[in-house]
């Protein structure tokens, strides 16, 4: 069950944001075996002064189209699965909505299964 937070500069059209979420979900389904209907994503848009980043950190040339993707998920994936996800997501986002690979920043936050409640005040994965 991933929870995905997507941060980007304000001003992109609805179609662009929809393409982001669809590409990210497709990547998660294909590489992490996430069910297609297991989709929980939050998009936040930021004005230029509230979206601060280094445009050359680690020799990656970033533009103002940078998208920061943070995914909270269970700590059950291998290093190889994570590497596969990073590549697949950059490829998917390059295809649609046409994002440069250099502008795809991904961060995984791993948690224990019992740290989720999907509703009703129940820790569904802890049962």
pLDDT in tens, 66-78: 999 999 999 999 9
For 67-123, give the DSSP string. EEEEEEEES---HHHHHHHHHHHHHHHHHTT---GGGEEEEEEEE-GGG---STT--
Any idea what the CATH number is for the domain that residue 47 is in? 3.30.429.10
What would the pLDDT profile of 82-118 be if each residue is shown by its tens digit?
999 999 999 999 999 999 999 999 999 999 999 999 9
**H or E stretch covering 45:** strand 41-46
Residue 1: which pLDDT band, with cuts at 50, 70 and 90?
Answer: confident
Instruction: Give the number of other Cβ atoms within 10 Å of residue 123's Cβ.
Output: 12
**Which pTM does this prediction carry?**
0.95
The domain tally of the chain equals: 1
Active site residues: 2
User: Which range of residues forms the domain containing residue 67?
Assistant: 3-126
In 3D space, the residue among 72, 67, 64 whose CA is nearest the CA of residue 94 turns out to be: 67
């Amino acid at each position: 069950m991933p929870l995905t937070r997507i941060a980007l500069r304000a001003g992109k059209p609805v179609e662009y944001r929809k393409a982001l979420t669809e590409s990210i979900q497709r990547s998660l389904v294909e590489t992490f075996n996430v069910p297609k209907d297991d989709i929980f994503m939050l998009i936040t848009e930021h004005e230029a002064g509230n979206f601060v980043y280094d445009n050359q950190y680690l020799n990656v040339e970033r533009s103002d189209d940078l998208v920061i993707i943070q995914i909270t998920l269970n700590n059950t994936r291998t290093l190889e699965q994570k590497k596969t996800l990073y590549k697949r997501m950059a490829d998917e986002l390059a295809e649609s909505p046409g994002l440069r690979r250099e502008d795809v920043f991904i961060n995984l936050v791993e948690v224990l299964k019992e740290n989720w409640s999907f509703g009703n005040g129940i820790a569904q994965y802890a049962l």
